[in-house]
Structure 1
Amino acid sequence: MHDSATVPPAAAHIETAVRDLHTAGITACRGAFEPEWADRMRKDIEAAFVEARGREGGAVGRGPHRYYVEIHPEQLGGFVELVDHPWVRAVSEAVLGPDYRIVELGFDIPLAGAVNQPWHRDFPMPEETRRERRLTSLAFNLTAVDTREDMGPFEIAPGTQWDDDTRFGHAMFPPREDYPRYAALAERKYPRRGDVSARSALTIHRGTANHSPDPRPVLVLGVDAPGAGNDGHHDMAVTRAFRSSLPDRVRAHLDCPVVEELTPIVQKHTIEGLVMGDA
């Protein structure tokens, strides 16, 4: 990890990130970690993926040849370094308040042959966002590979986190006649190992078709403002021994069940509209 990761980020950098999240709906910290850190993360993801696919409910489809797997913090060797990174902490606090909660840890993995997803947001717009334009959650993403064009890059339509349309299917999927608008706005992202992005999962986005022979795994860290309620969609837990080993400032934001022994997670954050891809 870069030495700068232990130094609080300049206030101007955090102000820029907050402004990005409220305008574009996405922001990033380039080179937050060394590429070798991301390589270790990839090995943890690959091990978790093999385990998850070997049992019922271990991995959930997000389209053809595309999966999502939720994991426990102890399955990620760099968990503490990630959640304790100064930029991650500062952005979480600036957007969600000092009592933000870590509610989700998982990964998306588009394999060779993954197709375009339909344009979507990850959950319906909360009332606080609709009434007050207040973001109540953030998704931090970390790529496990240096993203190439043929891998099916993540595509996002900046500024669409505020789109509020009764025509949205399940309050998440824009109608197909609006696709040209999102395509015109769309930006493809090409993060490299060690980069961290933060976005509002309300910003309309999609994974694109993976034409390469290589998977494109991406870690997801979900963070909520108090009372946002996304923890109800996840089953993250920690053992008593692991929790006691955490720094106080990490433990303060980790409000999940404490168990004697971890149980493999049966995925429940399904998004039915993604199962078929952009059919």
Structure 2
Amino acid sequence: MSAVLQPQADHFDTATILGGLYGDGIIGCKGAFDRQWVQRLREDIDVLFQEALQQPGGALNRGPNRFYVEVHPERIRSFAELVTHPWVVAVCEAVLGPDYRIVEAGFDVPGPGAANQPWHRDFPMPEATSKGRRLNSLAFNLTTVDVYEDMGPFEIAPGTQWDDLSNCGCEKGMFPPKSYYHRYEARAQRKMPRMGDISARSALTIHRGTANRSDKSRPVFVLGVDAPDARNAEHHDMQVSKAYWNSLPEQVRRHLTCRIVDRPEPIIQVHTIEGLTMGV
């Protein structure tokens, strides 16, 4: 089952990509994949989510009825198609350079009853950004459902990837105080993508998941990618079996930061975000 055909990576405009990610902090590609492809991804996520719930520490709590699960790439049948999609490649090369590194694969599941998260960024601002004014990591999000207003859509405050939170008592450099919320609420955009759409964002851009008032879950696949100088791989433990590694095209192998093992072991997740365990 193949992704929808798109132009080659060099047909995407680098200035547009950089303008979006250095400006708003988020960009998207509509209809990057066909719905059948996304349905197949959802099937894999559903199986992996049930497995994770049965494994101690397998599903990280990110707030009431909201979970995050890291996965082995080989458990996602279309992983190679995702990471070689021309738009994904073009965005990675434009922002992170030709030697970008794929360091994270997982998914978020905001279920019915998930509450508003506090405004946050996913990790503290690195010096590459605070001093060098350079983005050295990206998060790609791929929805597995058509998102509607009552399903707890992702909300983001454009342009806030550059906000300096070092002198405001910001918890762990990630959670701005509530006195700053008016800034984010004034800028807030709720994203309601359709199946097949994909987005790329700086994980430093202030964002939150909103309350899911529907009776449906909203699973979204997450792909984390670093520039060579970033260190987010230290928070993850990507593994692939030797057989899977040998089956991957060279285009994937040269960008994948992982351990090659006889058989993938349970992932010990260390990228916990303790401030998200309570809704607001």
TM category (shorter chain) comes to over 0.9
Distance in 1 between residues matched to 2:238 and 2:274, nearest whole Å: 21
Q: Is the contact between residue 147 and residue 218 of structure 2 (CA under 8 Å) also seen in structure 1?
A: yes
Partner letter of residue 131 of structure 1? Answer: K
TM-score (norm 2): 0.97
Structure 1 distance, partners of 2:123, 2:114, is 22
Shift of 1:6: 6.0
Mapping 1:5-44, distance limit 5 Å: 5=6, 7-8=8-9, 10-12=11-13, 14-44=14-44
1:239-264 deviation digits (Å, cap 9, x = unpaired): 11111111111110012100000112
1:8 Cα deviation from its structure 2 partner: 3.3
Counterpart of 1:159 in structure 2: which amino acid?
G
For 1:200-242, what per-residue CA distance to the aligned partner results, in whole angstroms no more than 9, with x for missing partners?
0000000000000000000000000012010000011001111
1:85 deviates by 0.5
The AA in structure 1 aligned to 2:8 is V
Letter in 2 for 1:147: V
Q: Deviations over 1:103-127 (max 9, x none)?
A: 0000000000000000000000000
For the residue of structure 2 that corresponds to 1:276, the secondary structure is coil
Matched, 1:262 2:264: yes
Partner of 2:15, secondary structure, is helix
Tell me, in whole angstroms, the C-alpha distance in 2 between the residues paired with 1:217 and 1:67.
9
Cα distance between partner residues in 2 of 1:181 and 1:48: 37
Q: State the partner residue of 2:82.
A: 82
SS in 2 for 1:20: helix
Asked if the contact 2:72/2:239 (under 8 Å) is kept, the reply is: yes
Q: Contact 2:39–2:144 at 8 Å: present in 1 too?
A: yes
Task: Indicate the SS of the match to 2:203.
Answer: coil
Match of 1:271 in 2: 273
Q: State the distance in 2 between where 1:9 and 1:210 align.
A: 39
Q: For 1:224, which of 223, 226, 245 is the aligned residue?
A: 226
CA RMSD of aligned residues (A): 1.1
CA separation in 1, counterparts of 2:71 and 2:251? Answer: 21
Query: In the alignment, is the contact (CA less than 8 A) between 2:100 and 2:227 conserved in 1?
Result: yes
**1:61 Cα deviation from its structure 2 partner:** 0.4
Q: Contact 1:234–1:268 at 8 Å: present in 2 too?
A: yes
Offset from partner CA, 1:78-102 (integer Å, 9 cap, x none): 1000001011011101100111000
Indicate the residue corresponding to 2:201 in structure 1. 199
Moved more, 117-126 or 168-177: 168-177
Q: What are the superposed Cα offsets for residues 162-190 of structure 1, whole Å, 9 maximum, x if unpaired?
A: 00122221100111011111011000001
8 Å CA contact 2:12, 2:87 repeated in 1: no
Q: Is the partner of 2:199 in helix, strand or coil?
A: strand
Equivalent position SS for 1:4: coil
* 1:184 corresponds to: 186
Aligned length: 277
Matched, 1:50 2:50: yes
Gaps of 5+ in 1: none
Aligned residues of 1:150 and 1:212 also touching (Cα < 8 A): yes
Q: Deviations over 1:35-68 (max 9, x none)?
A: 1111111111110000000010100000000000
Is 1:57–1:266's contact at 8 Å kept on the other side of the alignment?
Answer: yes
Contact 2:108 2:222 in 1 (8 A): yes
> Percent of aligned positions with the same letter in both sequences?
60
| Contact 1:119 1:174 survives alignment (8 Å) | yes
| Paired letter, 1:218 | V
Question: Aligned partner of 1:5: which letter?
Answer: Q
Change (3 A) 1:9 1:31: farther
1:146 aligned partner: 146
Amino acid at match of 2:275: G
Conserved? CA contact 1:17–1:28, under 8 Å: no
Q: Does 1:242 align with 2:238?
A: no
